[in-house]
Structure 1
Amino acid sequence: MAPDVVLDPASSADAAAIRTVLAHAYRTNPLMVWALPDTATREDACAAWLGPSVDRYLAVGRVLVARHHERVVGVAAWRLPAAGPAPDSLPTPSGVLAALLGRARAEEILAALSSAASLAPAQPADYLNYLAVEPELQGRSIGTRLVEAGIADSDSAALGTYLGTTDPRNLPFYRRLGYVDAGATTLAPGGPVLTVLHRGQDPAGSANHMTVSP
């Protein structure tokens, strides 16, 4: 447990700190290793790629941060089905990825991720897109507290939740929180396997209008 860690809603002032936590926590994530193979630049590239999504979730999603002595050390970012349109601003996640890797490689990665769309719930549900905790503080129940707080918000709105992960080490963690495997897809030959999990939804359902994103 981490009694010296407090959770509260994020604001736009937290954007840079959130990008940094994501970059540190996702350094060895199989999706990032596959998409961003250069270890020397992976953290910077990850922060750049995910940064626009962070900005959009801060504007129209639900973002909760964990603070340790006022420093942001963890984050959970949710896409909400009833959220309004994202701000029309640059850069975009796809645009950043194309700038980093070239348009052809970026389109290949995004197409692979979109192949999991059929595994999304049939009914509207809150999507946990990002969960990250600074590596030195992992294993102290911070991630559990972040997810449980988000689940409570979803439960209060009578909505299920879902997520996708390419890290098999995460599967027992999410299953302990009540998530059930809905299916999996291999993103590319020799690439990572993306597993989609649902909570409070029929795992057999699908909704092609919903997308699973990194």
Structure 2
Amino acid sequence: MASDAVLDHATAAESPAIRTVLARAYRTNPLMAWVLPDEQTREDACAAWLGPSVDRYLAVGLVHVARLRGAVVGAAAWRLPGAGPAPESLPTPRGALAALVGRARADEVLAALGSAALLAPPDPAPYLNFLAVAPEHQGHGIGQRLVEAGIAAARDVGTYLATTDARNLPFYERLGYGRSGAVRLGADGPLLTVLRRAPRTT
């Protein structure tokens, strides 16, 4: 049962498994469909684009995985405020995207994503960049457990995230996140909604 999944901190050796889960879970994600429109190659392209970011989060961020019978079936990766620079390695996330879609298109995509920065919290806060559960294990509470593990690790300071999938909004709102605004990505891209979770007060 997926509900029997065990949560733990990810290891560097699990990077391939994590990017595979991300690629499979994000296959129909509106952002990925906009950036990587070829359905036949989207999973491979998604893994290639997100892989360098996964490695950086494993080095200087916070990554939890859900394992079922030893296999990674879910992952959550957080960017932490004040984290040091990741070790230099290739490819970079920007470079990988440019290799996939061309430099001009990569610059357009990254500029569009950067336009949501004005909706971030005024003070540095942990940012949930990736949350994914393998499609066959979705709907069993693994995603909720992964988010809650990150919130607990952040010691109840405010956290935030962004999503282009409107189906995710009720899920995050049940976890205490509220919408702080949204931006349209480019002229023809999806709506990116930013959500914040206020720090717990005593």
By the TM > 0.5 criterion, same fold? yes
Alignment correspondent of 2:188:
190
Alignment correspondent of 2:81:
81
Post-superposition shift, 1:191? 1.3
Flag structure 2 segments of 5+ consecutive residues without an equivalent: none
| Structure 2 letter corresponding to 1:177 | L
Runs of 4+ in 1 over 4 A off after TM superposition: none
Alignment correspondent of 2:151:
151
Spell out, residue by residue over 1:79-131, the C-alpha distance to the aligned partner (whole angstroms, 9 max, x if none). Answer: 00021111111110000110111111111100100000100100111000000
Flag structure 1 segments of 5+ consecutive residues without an equivalent: 202-214
Tell whether 2:167 aligns with 1:169: yes
Tell whether 2:29 aligns with 1:29: yes
Equivalent residue of 2:43, what SS? Answer: helix
Distance 1:3 1:106 in 2: 38
Distance 2:29 2:118 in 1: 23
Distance 2:147 2:12 in 1: 21
Alignment correspondent of 1:208:
none
Distance 2:2 2:198 in 1: 28
Q: How many residues align?
A: 199
| Structure 2 letter corresponding to 1:104 | A
**Does the CA-based 8 Å contact 2:3-2:141 persist in structure 1?**
no
Alignment correspondent of 1:92:
92
Post-superposition shift, 1:31? 0.1
Tell whether 2:45 aligns with 1:45: yes
Spell out, residue by residue over 1:160-182, the C-alpha distance to the aligned partner (whole angstroms, 9 max, x if none). Answer: 10000000000000000000101
Equivalent residue of 2:105, what SS? Answer: helix
Return the TM-score normalized by structure 1: 0.91
Distance 1:145 1:136 in 2: 17
Alignment correspondent of 1:63:
63
| Structure 2 letter corresponding to 1:166 | T
Distance 1:65 1:39 in 2: 27
Distance 1:3 1:55 in 2: 27
Return the TM-score normalized by structure 2: 0.96
